[in-house]
Each structure stands twice: as structure tokens, then as C-alpha cells.
Amino acid sequence: MDKITLLQTFVVAANEGSFTRAANRLNTSNQLISKYVAQLEKHLDVRLFNRTTRKIHLTEAGQQCLLHANNILESVNDMESQLGLLHTQAKGVLHVSAPVSFSTLHLSAALAAFQNAHPNISVNLQLNDRKVDVVDEGLDVALRAGHLASSALVAKKITTIKLALCASPAYLQRYGTPTHPSQLRPEHYLEYAYVNYDNDKSELLKALKANAQKVPPKLIANNGEVLTDVAKQSDGYVLQPTFITGEAVKRGELVAILKDYVPQAISLYAVYPHRKLVSNKLRVFIDFISNYFEDTPYWDE
């Protein structure tokens, strides 16, 4: 029997002054009350009650035990109330990991709107394009783009992310606009360091992989914004999400090419450890950003 139940039974018996009245109060049997008190006495190695045929009286040890038991049970009640409040109210610190470029270009505005709607939630945001360990790094949630491998983590789709192969108008004027991936010049490829060629079987990715094996790419970087800025300087072509390249394409600084060969769209997911034990602060965060970005995000409209 757990110690909290033993203490609760002891306190009721002490307050009622009778095992029989304590049994009626707790809707149980007189024998079970006596058994629980005996277990507590054995555990503490003291006698808590002096018993008569009709009444029970606290011993000196029992009086001391009653003071401690009341304090313990009050602390337990306070703990349950506080934890229940955290579960039902959106408050506390939310630890979030997110990709660098997506955060600087789009998530910052979403976070500002989120905190206006939920002022009692403080966000600790860590930006990193590597795959972080949500559990080991003490995170509540990680935003990840791509095709997720199966794991014990829970993943909820936030939005769709399209990819685009882009080059500047000046680059295309100088070298021509390719109509097939085989026409790409591998020495002009601006490669994202974390690209995974094995997750998609598109003809374009096969060509990029084959080209990279023949000739080193012009530039490899772990930041898509840097690669996109280099491409705008007429220095090569880049494969990046439209949330990075979209504005440059709209302004005419880049041109999307080989649209029929671009890999299939990927997704942005919120990845977190538990399905049942989700805090309210995390639940409202996921719901908010899902509604904010929607399945077709604003940068693709």
C-alpha cells in the first residue's frame, strides 16, 4: 500500500476518533482502516493510537505524526493543484528547436503573434539545422523539415514545403536555361550541406548526386539563405525551399527552372516526445503555428 494512502487513512481516523467513523467517512470497512493504521505503525515503528473498545486516542508519537501527516498531505494537494494548473492553463517556459532560415524568415513573426495571444508562455528558441535529440536536449518540441524516419517521437504536420531549383537571369542568359537535369553544370551547383539524396528518387536529385560525385560543387554551405544570396549574384544554381527563394523569384532576382523535375514537396513537422502527456503550453503552440502557416503557406500563394 502506498504511504500517501496510509497517511490519509491515519489522519481521518485521528480526526474522527474512531475506526468505525473513519470507515464510514472513507466508505470502507473497519477492518481495512485498522489494517492501514497497523501498517503505518509498523513502518514507523511506533504506536500511534491507544485503543479502547469504543474510542481511540493518539499517543504522543501519534500527535507528532498527525502534524507531519497534515503537512505532507497539504504539500501533496498543493503539488497536484499546481501541476493541474500547468496542464489546463497555457503558461510556463516552452523550449523549442527550429531550422535557422525558416525561423529568421518566417517563425519570428509567428512567435510574436503567438506570444501576443498567450502572454503567460515564455519561449526559449534554439536555432539549428542539424537533427537535434528532443529528449536528451530537454526540448518540448522541435520543428523539422523533410521526410521523417520512424521513431518513438510524435510528429504533427505543420505545413507543406515546396522546393525550387533556381538561378539568376544573368546566369541563365550566359549559360542557357536547361530543359533536363542532365544539362546542369555540376561545377556551378551551390549545395546545401544537409541535403539527403537518398530520401527522394526524383531525376533531379539523381543528377545532382551523380554530378557531385564527378565534380565538387562550386559551394557547399549549411545555410540556405547564404546559398540563395550567392545564386542571386549570377554564381550558380541552388535547390532550396520556396520559403527561402520565393521572394527572390517574385522580385525577378531568381528564376525557377526545371519545374517538372523538382523533388516532391516535403513537410514541416512539430516533433515532440509524448502523445498523452502533452502540456497545454505545447498543445496551444502547435495548434497556433499550424493555423498560422496552414497547409498551403502564404509564401506559396
For 256-269, write each residue's pLDDT tens digit.
999 999 988 999 99
Q: What digits encode the pLDDT tens for the residues 79-101?
A: 776 676 566 678 889 999 999 99
Could you tell me if 59 and 202 lie in one domain? no
> What per-residue confidence (pLDDT) applies to 82?
64
pLDDT above 90 covers a percentage of the chain that reads 59
Considering only residues 129 and 298, tell me which one the structure prediction assigns the higher pLDDT. 298
Q: What is the pLDDT of residue 276?
A: 60
**Does the pLDDT at position 54 exceed 80?**
no
Q: Is the pLDDT of residue 211 over 90?
A: no
Q: Please determine, for residue 245, whether its predicted confidence score (pLDDT) is greater than 90.
A: yes
User: Using one digit for the tens of pLDDT, what is the confidence trace for 107-165?
Assistant: 999 999 999 999 999 999 999 888 888 888 888 999 998 877 666 788 899 999 999 99
Look at residue 170 in the predicted model and tell me its pLDDT: 96
What is the pLDDT at residue 85?
A: 59
What is the arithmetic mean of pLDDT over 29-46?
A: 91
Would the pLDDT of 197 be above 60? no
Whole-Å CA distances, 136 to 30, 96, 132, 147 = 49, 13, 9, 22
82 and 113 fall within a common domain: no
- Model confidence at 200: pLDDT above 70: no
Asked if residue 251 and residue 173 are part of one domain, the reply reads yes
CATH number for 208: 3.40.190.10
According to DSSP, the residues that pair with 220 across neighbouring strands are 191
Residue 219 sits at the vertex; the CA angle it makes with 217 and 225, to the nearest 5 degrees, is 130
Q: Are 236 and 167 part of one and the same domain?
A: yes
Which has the minimum average pLDDT: 3-17, 135-149, 222-236, 259-273?
135-149
Asked if 287 and 249 sit in the same domain, the reply is: no
- What's residue 55's pLDDT? 83
Specify whether the CB–CB gap between 245 and 300 falls below 8 A.
Answer: no
**How many angstroms separate the CA atoms of 256 and 26, rounded?**
73
Is the same domain home to 146 and 278? yes
User: How many domains would you assign to the chain?
Assistant: 3
Instruction: Say if residue 187 is in the same domain as residue 248.
Output: yes
Its domain, for residue 279, covers 92-159+266-300
Other Cβ atoms within 10 Å of 259 Cβ, number: 8
| Cα Rg of the chain, angstroms | 32
Residues 81, 217 within the same domain:
no
Q: CATH code at 23? A: 1.10.10.10
Strands 266-272 and 141-146: antiparallel
pLDDT class for 174, splitting at 50, 70, 90? very high
Domain boundary among 88, 113, 131: 88
Q: In this structure, how many other beta carbons lie within 10 angstroms of the beta carbon of residue 77?
A: 10
- pLDDT recorded at residue 84: 67
* Residue of 124, 131, 128, 123 lying closest to 100 (CA atoms): 128
Q: Which residue has the higher pLDDT, 73 or 201?
A: 73
Instruction: Specify the pLDDT at position 198.
Output: 56
Assess whether 257 and 138 both reside in one domain: no
Average pLDDT, the chain: 88
Q: Is the pLDDT of residue 49 over 90?
A: yes
pLDDT over 90 (residue 212) = no
SS3 per residue for the chain: CCHHHHHHHHHHHHHHCCHHHHHHHHCCCHHHHHHHHHHHHHHHCCCCEEECCCCEEECHHHHHHHHHHHHHHHHHHHHHHHHHHHHHCCCEEEEEEECHHHHHHHHHHHHHHHHHHCCCEEEEEEECCCCCCCCCCCCCEEEEEECCCCCCCEEEEEEEECEEEEECHHHHHHHCCCCCHHHCCHHHEEEECCCCHHHCCCHHHHHHHHHHHHCCCCEEECCHHHHHHHHHCCCCEEEEEHHHHHHHHHCCCCEEECHHHCCCCEEEEEEECCCCCCCHHHHHHHHHHHHHHCCCCHHHC
Rounded to a whole number, what is the largest CA-CA distance in the chain? Answer: 106
Beta pairing class for 237-241 and 163-167 = antiparallel
The pLDDT score that the predictor gives to residue 101 is 94
pLDDT of residue 134: 86
